[in-house]
Structure 1
Amino acid sequence: MLKEAKKINWSPSYIKEGRFGQWLEGAKDWSISRQRYWASVIPIWQCSCGWQQVIGSVQELAELSGAEITDLHKHIVDKITIKCPNCGKLAHRVPDVLDTWFDSGSMPYAQAHYPFENAQDFDSHFPAQFIAEGIDQTRCWFYYLQVISTALGRGVAFRNVIVNGIVLAEDGKKMSKKLQNYPDPAELLDRYGADALRYYLLASPVTQAENLNFSETGVEEAIKKITLPVWNVYKFYDLYGGNERSVLSRANWHSDNILDHWIVSRLYQLLGEIDEAMMGYNLPRAVRPLAVFVDDLSGWYLRRSRSRFKNGESQDKDWAVITTNYVLQHLSLALAPFTPFLAEALWQKITGFDYKYDDKSVHLLSWPTDLSVDEEVLAEMAAVREIAELALAQRDAAGLKIRQVLSSLTVKGPSDRLSLISSAGLDILADELNVKHIITEAHNIVNWEVSLDTTLTPELMREGLARELVRHINLLRKESGFSLSDQTIIYWRATSPLAKLTLDELAGTITKETLSGKIVEGRPDQFLAHKTLNLDDGILEIMIAKLN
Structure 2
Amino acid sequence: LTATHSAGGLIPIPPLHSNRIFQYFLLFPLNRYFNIISIVFLINRSETPLIYRAVPSWFIRVEMIVQQLLENNNKCYWVPEFVQAKRFANWLTNARDWAVSRNRYWGTPIPIWASEDFSEVVCVGSVEELEQLSGVRVSDLHRENVDHITIPSCRGNGVLKRVSEVFDCWFESGSMPYAQSHYPFENKKVFETTFPADFIAEGVDQTRGWFYTLLVVSTALFNKPPYKNLIVNGLVLASNGQKMSKRLKNYPDPMNVVKDYGADALRLYLVNSPVVRAESLRFQEKGVKDVVKDVFLPWFNAYRFLIQNVLRLKQEEGISFVHTADFSPANTMDRWIISFTQSLVFFMKEEMAKYRLYYCGSSTGEIHRPVDKLGELGKHECLDSMHTLFSVLYSMTRMLAPFTPFLTEHMFQNLRHLLPWELNDSNASLHYIMMPKPRPDLIDKEIERAVSLMQSVVETGRYIRDKVVVPIKFPLPEVVVIHRDPGSHDDLKKLENYILEISYAVAESLSSRYHAHASGTLLVLLDATPSQEMVDEGVAREVINKIQKLRKKAGLQPRDAVEVLYKVGGEGGGASLTRVIENHREYIETTTKGPVNPWTSTSDLSHKIVEEEQKMKGLADVMLHLWIIPKPESSSGTNSIPLVDPVPNGDGPIPVCRYVNLVLFLPPGPTLRPAGLLATLLLENPVGENILTLNQLKTEVCNLLKSYLNRDLHIWVVAGGNTEPVTSSCDLLSLHRQTCTSVRRSGPLPVDCGFPPTEPLTPFSKFVDVTLDNGRQATVMLENPKGVKIIAEKDAKIVAKQLF
Q: Name the TM tier (shorter chain).
A: 0.7 to 0.9
- How far apart, CA to CA, are the structure 2 residues paired with 1:40 and 1:474? 68
- How far apart, CA to CA, are the structure 1 residues paired with 2:506 and 2:210? 63
Give the equivalent residue in structure 2 for 1:142: 211
- Is this contact kept in 1: 2:341–2:392, CA < 8 A? yes
User: Which of 74-83 and 475-484 deviates more?
Assistant: 475-484
Q: Does 1:388 align with 2:458?
A: yes
Secondary structure of the 1:27 match is coil
Give the equivalent residue in structure 2 for 1:19: 87
Picking from 252, 256, 260, the partner of 2:326 is 252
Structure of greater relative contact order (alpha carbons < 8 Å, 6+ residues apart): 1
Task: Specify every segment of 5 or more residues in structure 2 that has no aligned partner in the other structure, as ranges.
Answer: 1-67, 509-517, 633-804
Aligned pairs for 1:112-191 within 5 A: 112-191=181-260
Give the equivalent residue in structure 1 for 2:355: 281
User: Which of 401-410 and 199-208 deviates more?
Assistant: 401-410
Give the equivalent residue in structure 2 for 1:439: 503
Q: Counterpart amino acid of 1:239?
A: Q
Secondary structure of the 1:129 match is strand
- Is this contact kept in 1: 2:479–2:526, CA < 8 A? yes
Give the equivalent residue in structure 2 for 1:233: 302
Cα 1:530/1:79, change in 2 over 3 Å: closer
Secondary structure of the 1:421 match is helix
Residue 259 of structure 1: how far off its partner (Å) = 2.0
Greater Rg over alpha carbons, structure: 2
- How far apart, CA to CA, are the structure 1 residues paired with 2:628 and 2:143? 85
User: Which of 497-506 and 313-322 deviates more?
Assistant: 497-506
Residue 234 of structure 1: how far off its partner (Å) = 1.6
Q: Does 1:192 align with 2:261?
A: yes
Q: Counterpart amino acid of 2:456?
A: E
- Is this contact kept in 2: 1:491–1:522, CA < 8 A? no
Q: Does 1:317 align with 2:382?
A: yes
Give the equivalent residue in structure 2 for 1:377: 447
Picking from 417, 420, 442, the partner of 2:488 is 417
- Is this contact kept in 1: 2:206–2:212, CA < 8 A? yes
- How far apart, CA to CA, are the structure 2 residues paired with 1:481 and 1:41? 67
Coordinate RMSD, CA, aligned: 3.7
Secondary structure of the 2:202 match is strand
Aligned pairs for 1:499-518 within 5 A: 507-516=585-594
Cα 1:396/1:35, change in 2 over 3 Å: closer
- How far apart, CA to CA, are the structure 1 residues paired with 2:100 and 2:614? 84
- How far apart, CA to CA, are the structure 2 residues paired with 1:121 and 1:88? 42
Give the equivalent residue in structure 1 for 2:78: 10
User: Which of 257-266 and 440-449 deviates more?
Assistant: 440-449
- How far apart, CA to CA, are the structure 1 residues paired with 2:488 and 2:284? 43
Residue 272 of structure 1: how far off its partner (Å) = 2.7
Once the two structures are superposed, what CA deviation does each residue of 1:208-228 show, in whole Å capped at 9, x if it has no partner?
Answer: 322222222222222222222
Cα 1:59/1:405, change in 2 over 3 Å: same
- Is this contact kept in 2: 1:410–1:438, CA < 8 A? no
Cα 1:195/1:422, change in 2 over 3 Å: same
Picking from 389, 401, 419, the partner of 1:336 is 401
Cα 1:543/1:338, change in 2 over 3 Å: closer
Give the equivalent residue in structure 1 for 2:603: 525
User: Which of 159-168 and 496-505 deviates more?
Assistant: 496-505
Q: Does 1:362 align with 2:430?
A: yes
Give the equivalent residue in structure 2 for 1:433: none
- How far apart, CA to CA, are the structure 1 residues paired with 2:434 and 2:457? 39
Residue 504 of structure 1: how far off its partner (Å) = 6.4
Cα 1:456/1:113, change in 2 over 3 Å: same
- TM score, norm. by length of structure 1: 0.84
- Is this contact kept in 1: 2:235–2:281, CA < 8 A? yes
Residue 362 of structure 1: how far off its partner (Å) = 1.9
Cα 1:157/1:439, change in 2 over 3 Å: same
Picking from 621, 626, 630, the partner of 1:546 is 630
Secondary structure of the 1:18 match is helix
Secondary structure of the 1:255 match is coil
- Is this contact kept in 1: 2:565–2:598, CA < 8 A? yes
Task: Specify every segment of 5 or more residues in structure 1 that has no aligned partner in the other structure, as ranges.
Answer: 431-435
Once the two structures are superposed, what CA deviation does each residue of 1:383-440 show, in whole Å capped at 9, x if it has no partner?
Answer: 11122234445666676655555555554444211111244x1232x3xxxxx42223
- How far apart, CA to CA, are the structure 2 residues paired with 1:322 and 1:290? 22
Secondary structure of the 2:502 match is strand
User: Which of 524-533 and 265-274 deviates more?
Assistant: 524-533
- How far apart, CA to CA, are the structure 1 residues paired with 2:244 and 2:474? 54
- How far apart, CA to CA, are the structure 2 residues paired with 1:138 and 1:479? 53
Q: How many residues are matched?
A: 529
- How far apart, CA to CA, are the structure 1 residues paired with 2:167 and 2:416? 55
Q: Counterpart amino acid of 2:90?
A: Q
Cα 1:419/1:97, change in 2 over 3 Å: same
Percent of residue pairs identical:
34
- How far apart, CA to CA, are the structure 2 residues paired with 1:117 and 1:247? 53
Q: Counterpart amino acid of 2:382?
A: K
- Is this contact kept in 1: 2:237–2:283, CA < 8 A? yes
- TM score, norm. by length of structure 2: 0.59
- How far apart, CA to CA, are the structure 2 residues paired with 1:256 and 1:408? 30
- How far apart, CA to CA, are the structure 2 residues paired with 1:246 and 1:62? 73
Secondary structure of the 1:488 match is strand
- How far apart, CA to CA, are the structure 1 residues paired with 2:522 and 2:195? 55
Cα 1:51/1:498, change in 2 over 3 Å: closer
Secondary structure of the 1:130 match is strand
Aligned pairs for 1:83-122 within 5 A: 83-85=152-154, 87=156, 90-122=159-191
- Is this contact kept in 2: 1:412–1:441, CA < 8 A? no
Q: Counterpart amino acid of 2:594?
A: S
Residue 486 of structure 1: how far off its partner (Å) = 0.5
- Is this contact kept in 2: 1:104–1:144, CA < 8 A? yes
User: Which of 87-96 and 279-288 deviates more?
Assistant: 87-96
